[in-house]
Amino acid sequence: MIGKKSKNAKSSYTKTVKYYERYRDFIRNITIYSYRSRQEYAEIGINNRTYDDYKRILSDCIKQGFIEESCNGKEKRTRFNADMYKSSYNYLVNTYFIKSLPNNAFYYIIILQILGDGNSRFINEIEDAIYKENDYKQLDISNSAPYRALCALTGSGLLKTNKVKNKSYYQLADNILDQLTAKELLELYNAVSFFTNVSPLSVPGYYLANTISQYMESKKVACPEKNLFWQYRFCNYSKIVDDEVIYIILQAIENKKSLKISYDKNKKSILLVPEALRTDYPYGRTYLYTTKHVAYKVEKITKIQVISPKKAIKPATSQKVKKPAAKKLDLIFTFKATDDEREVTAIKHRLQQEAAWMHCTELDKEHYRYTATVQDAFSLVPWIRTFHKYVSLGSDTDTVVKERLEKDKMEALQKYGIIQ
């Protein structure tokens, strides 16, 4: 007899994510808006169950010590704690490993295992090996499934073919790393590690660096620790979660295709022709510019799809891509001797990590000025609010930003009944 599940029993959670685009927003909130509590995540559409599951998954794939919790009264707040000066390795790349694989991915993996001995095999031999060792009832046993996988692996360069009497035999492709000396392997690893954090796409670089590292270990060649060789002035960790979107945009630009995107909270899809991508590295934001000179923040693209245009896309004739109007940010931080010492220390530590891209001037022992010119000041408003009583706006802050923060302040006071 099957008993009822106890209400107190802990529910299991899936350690993979089917739709990475949903998880992307959660990661961005953890890394940028780390002040949010479990209850505040529910207000932006991430319910308690989803929050708990996502946090467990993130803790599983991020190195211990990079995820920490702090308490504000009874509320726990989770944040991604990383220091670019100690390590430029972006552990958020591990979140791509948690995406669940489609059913056909099984064939790619098992075929590579079968051909791992270095011998060449005919397609019938490969199919026999697949179904001999595995439960065929759970597989797509159509004749085309293994063949499609073989074609894809050959097209990507992982396999090579050899025809014998009109029969195609498949074999693992030669490993190009076998041609390199230990010194050349180390130089290649260091070069890949460097370009990983300065290229438009970071994930492929991390995958390649990981492959080289594992190869060096198999050959008993000493390999340096992850990305300790390089330091970067601007290394924004959260930007990496947009790599999949950026890759699709770059492919569309190269192949002269149109895009259909869902943007921010807009219910209607937007059709556009991409022209260029621009990245502001100090602020970690990438903008998609269209042929109509309209800019979209990549981080706000929730869905993206490549479509064939009805008319041929002509090469861009103008490079007059308009950037969003830059706005000045002037923040004055005040730390009085009567303030809570532990809280002040925590605020200063946050500023060292999160405001390293801003210019800091010590006005006196109690006042510090942080200034910067930013493309998107409004996106920093939630971050500024987290410093509440310690921060005020300096005279150089753009008027529009001042008005926005003042409006938010009045709404908060009304919400809590402090003013009517």
| Ranges of the chain whose pLDDT falls below 70 | 1-14, 32-35, 64-65, 72, 83-86, 133-143, 226-228, 282-283, 309-325, 379, 412-420
- List C-alpha distances in Å: 236 to 17, 52, 356, 384: 23, 25, 11, 18
Report the predicted TM-score, pTM, of the whole model to 2 decimal places: 0.69
pLDDT at 9: 44
Exposure string over 67-86, b if 16+ CB within 10 A, otherwise e: beeeeeeeeebbbbebebee
- Residue 152 identity: A
CB-based contacts of 162: which residues, under 8 Å, 6+ apart? Answer: 120, 168, 169, 171
| Residue 233 Cα to chain centre, angstroms | 19
For tokens 């590690």, the residue is 193
Which helix (H) or strand (E) segment is 151 a member of?
A: helix 144-155
Domains, in order of start, for the chain: 20-98 (1.10.10), 105-172 (1.10.10.10), 176-235 (no CATH), 240-307 (2.30.30.100), 327-415 (3.30.70)
d(CA 384, CA 327): 15
Q: Which residues contact 413 (CB under 8 A, 6 or more apart)?
A: 419
pLDDT at 396: 82
What tens digit of pLDDT does each residue of 161-181 get? 988 888 889 999 999 999 999
